[in-house]
Amino acid sequence: ALPTRVKIVEVGPRDGLQNEATTIPTDVKLTLIDMLGEAGLHTIEATAFVSPKWVPQMADHADVMRGLKRRPHVAYPALVPNMKGFEAALEAGCEEIAIFTAASESFCQKNINCSIDESFERFAPVVDAALEKNIKVRGYVSCVLGCPYEGDIKPAAVAEVAQRLHQIGCYEVSLGDTIGVGTPIAAKKMVEAVARLVPLKQLAAHFHDTYGQAMANLFAVMELGIATIDSSVGGLGGCPYAKGASGNVATEDVVYMLQGMGRETGVNLNKLIDASAYINSYLRRTPNSKVANALLAK
Measured from the CB atom, the residue of 73 and 243 that comes closer to ligand HMG is 243
Q: Cα(30)–Cα(98) distance, rounded to whole angstroms?
A: 19
Is 279:289 a contact under the CB 8 Å cutoff?
A: no
Which of 54, 211, 219, 282 touches ligand HMG (CB under 6 A)? 54
Among residues 55, 110, 105, the alpha carbon closest in space to that of 85 is found at 55
User: Residue with the closest Cβ to ligand HMG?
Assistant: 176
Q: Give least dist CB 14 to ligand HMG, A.
A: 8
- Stretch (H or E) spanning 158: helix 155-168
Active site residue 239: yes
CB neighbours of 250 closer than 8 A, spacing ≥ 6?
209, 231, 232, 233, 234, 235, 276, 287, 288, 289, 290, 291, 292
First-to-last alpha carbon distance for the chain, in angstroms, is 34
Mark 185-214 with x for binding to ligand HMG (rule: CB under 6 A) and - for no binding: ---------------------x-x------
Identify which range of 48-56, 124-132, 158-166, 287-295 contacts ligand HMG by CB under 6 A: 48-56
- Stretch (H or E) spanning 111: helix 105-112
Mark 59-88 with x for binding to ligand HMG (rule: CB under 6 A) and - for no binding: --------------------x-xx-xx--x
Measured from the CB atom, the residue of 11 and 267 that comes closer to ligand HMG is 11
Q: Does 15 bind Mg ion (CB under 5 A)?
A: yes
Q: Cα(12)–Cα(279) distance, rounded to whole angstroms?
A: 10
Contacted by 48, from Mg ion, ligand HMG, none: CB < 5 to 8 Å by type: ligand HMG
Amino acid at 112: I
Identify which range of 51-59, 149-157, 210-218, 257-265 contacts ligand HMG by CB under 6 A: 51-59
Mark 116-145 with x for binding to ligand HMG (rule: CB under 6 A) and - for no binding: ------------------------x-x---
Which of 49, 76, 120, 256 touches ligand HMG (CB under 6 A)? 49
Q: Does 243 bind ligand HMG (CB under 6 A)?
A: no
Buried b (16+ CB within 10 A) or exposed e, 256-270: bbbeeeebebebebe
Grouping H, G, I as helix, E, B as strand and the rest as coil, residue 232 is strand
**Binding positions for ligand HMG, rule: CB under 6 A:** 15, 18, 48-51, 53-55, 79, 81-82, 84-85, 88, 100, 111-113, 140, 142, 176, 178, 206, 208, 239-241
Residues marked as catalytic: 239
